[in-house]
A and B are shown apart, each in its own frame.
Chain A
Amino acid sequence: MDGSAATAGWLRRTWTRLNRPSARYSVLALGVVFFLAGIIFWGGFHTGLEMTNTLEFCTGCHEMRDTVYQEYKETIHYSNRTGVRAICSDCHVPREWGPKMIRKAQASLEVWGKLVGTIDTKEKFEARRMTLATHEWARMKASNSRECRNCHDFDAMSAELQKQTPYKKHMKAKEEGKTCIDCHKGIAHHLPKEYRDPDE
């Protein structure tokens, strides 16, 4: 008997066993086992996913650590008066499950970029900064700056506590249906050198 016939035989026997109704275990026992296995699988999956949302994971590669991470450390989203910190995933990964899964699937392309060294030097990163930033700005614009709005809200802005000029600009932006990223680009990273503000 050759190898392919043996493999086919094993597959057939396994399928027959799986497909056969159990004569030994009750439906309740099988249900409990299935339920517990589901909890363990889901817990493991969720824990693994959350591990990829930590600052340590995001800055684990030199592509991020030597460039955008150094810039972010100089901004208010890293260090501020009240001690509230927004890490990479707070701005770049949706909290909601569906959009988060889509974003994580897209991020697998970034793993390919890592493997082929698309931005493995500072020079390469700078050459692609505008492209990368444009993609992220487009994503934020399409979601109405959803990740910004997890913390910031036009309606929560105080006319007494916010300076008059930015308050007026914010209320005007709200009326015009603008979204955070329309005006606030490059707040946690350097702007690409090719970028020009439409207000200039």
Chain B
Amino acid sequence: MKTTPIRSLLSATVAASTLLAFAPTAQAVDAEAAQALARQNNCLKCHSVDKEKDAPSFKKVAAKYKGKADAEQKLIDHITSGNKVKFADGHEEEHKVIKTSPPKDMGQVKNLVQWILSQ
């Protein structure tokens, strides 16, 4: 069967669309939703975007994890597992577990972590 120019163009379009659909794309961070979740969970009582409070600033956290491949997963574990954190005075206590609405929405948690890492 002879391939016409129109058929070739169609095939190329379909192939390109398929590639685009399945290509890993960087999801844009929803900063407003991330801040709302941080506010709702009282993160900002201990953390600040750029100031040192009882806990490190989000800018400091982002700098610490910059360039590390496992940064996102480590932070997700940190805010969902309730693991121990060390404070400046040396005492340790469990980190708050982030609650979402609807509950356990990992998309919201991931967005919050990506926003923190983008500071």
Contacts and interface: CB of A to CB of B under 8 A. Distances in A.
B54 interface: yes
A196 B45 CA distance: 12
A197 B44 contact: yes
Given A164-B93, A165-B87, A200 B48 contact: yes
25 contacts: A71-B101, A74-B99, A74-B102, A163-B93, A163-B94, A164-B87, A164-B91, A164-B93, A165-B46, A165-B54, A165-B87, A169-B45, A186-B39, A186-B40, A190-B101, A191-B39, A191-B40, A195-B39, A196-B39, A197-B44, A197-B45, A199-B44, A199-B45, A200-B39, A200-B48
B36 interface: yes
B44 A200 contact: yes
A183 interface: yes
A17 interface: no
Q: Determine which residue in B39, B48, B54 has the highest number of CB atoms from chain A within 10 A of its CB, and name it.
A: B39
Nearest to A200: B44
B36 A191 contact: yes
A165 B91 CA distance: 10
Task: Give the contact-size bracket for chain A.
Answer: 10 to 19
Interface residues of B, number: 18
Contacts, number: 36
B103 interface: yes
Contacts of A183: 45
Contacts of A81: none
Interface in B84-115: 87, 91, 93-94, 99, 101-103
Interface in A174-193: 183, 186, 190-191, 193
A197 B32 CA distance: 14
Contact of A193 (B36, B93, B101): B36
Sort A-B residue pairs by CB-CB distance and give the 9 closest, nearest first.
A163-B93, A200-B44, A197-B44, A74-B101, A164-B91, A191-B40, A164-B93, A191-B39, A199-B45
A77 B54 CA distance: 27
Contacts of B39: 186, 191, 195-197, 200
A87 to B, nearest CB: 19
A130 B97 CA distance: 26
